[in-house]
Amino acid sequence: MPSLPAAAITTLTLFGIRPGHWRWGLAQMGTMPPRLKQTEGLQFFKLLGSGKGRVFSLTPDFYLYGLIAVWENETTADQFLNHSAVIKEYDVHCHERWTVKLQALKAHGLWDGQAPFVPTADIKNTSGQMAVLTRAAINLRALPAFWKYGKETSKALDAAPGLVAAVGLGELPFVRQATFSIWESEQHMVQYAYKNAHHQQVIRKTRQDNWYSEELFARFRVISAAGSWKGRNPLAI
């Protein structure tokens, strides 16, 4: 894998909580953010819960959590991931941990009023695996429609050619949702995003019916991944 330049890097870490430790995992949603705010080199972060479905689910999964973070550079990210007290504490309560490193290629929209993912201007080559993050704050009146179409969207995503891995994450149950997916190539991602009939229908509905009060879309180059998620590293060859 190529090394990163001294520029901002995004990481997504998934934590698989040990059986019987779910109360600890749930508690971190409230107690961990103040500690993360003190982390050197951490520019932006969100600690996220998940659902039991592949992407969209009304049933929470108390055994899987995510941390998406933007770092000043790869060195500060590695320092946190390899040596911090926060990660050591998570490792006590987790049976697995998986982290993917990413470089932002394109991004538009806001997350709680911020634009956290700044594209790397000197990246021209977009060959290789591609990651996509979509995040939305859903208007309350649009919740029934969002979840109705969300089930079908999850099925369409599952069947999409070139999908390597996908997970649904959220800040608040039902109303602040995010989807993270990894694709074999940019071509596979574009094929799903712009040519899948169901996905296009959902995009039209979000615009016509004003589903979201805030949304964000970001595309990343996948740099590397380490650890395990559901017993394996989905990016391992």
Containing domain of residue 212, as a range? 9-227
Does the pLDDT value for residue 1 go beyond 80? Answer: no
Residue 16 lies in a domain: yes
Residue 114 lies in a domain: yes
CATH number assigned to the domain comprising residue 33:
3.30.70.100
| 28-42, 133-147, 196-210: which is most confident | 28-42
Mean pLDDT for 91-111 is: 96
Q: Would residue 1 count as lying in a domain? A: no
Q: Is 235 contained in some domain?
A: no
Q: Is the pLDDT of residue 3 over 50?
A: no
Q: How many domains does the chain have?
A: 1
Q: Does some domain include residue 236?
A: no
pLDDT digits (tens, 9 = 90+) for 74-95: 999 999 999 999 999 999 999 9
185 in a structural domain = yes
Which three-class secondary structure string do you get for the chain? CCCCCCCCEEEEEEEEECCCCHHHHHHHHHHHHHHHCCCCCEEEEEEEEEECCCCCCCCEEEEEEEEEEEECCHHHHHHHHHHCHHHHHHHHHEEEEEEEEEEEEEEEECECCECCCCCCCCCCCCCCCEEEEEEEEECHHHHHHHHHHHHHHHHHHHCCCCEEEEEEEEEECCCEEEEEEEECCHHHHHHHHHHCHHHHHHHHHHHHCCCEEEEEEEEEEEEEEEECECCECCCCC
Domain membership of residue 83 (yes or no) is: yes
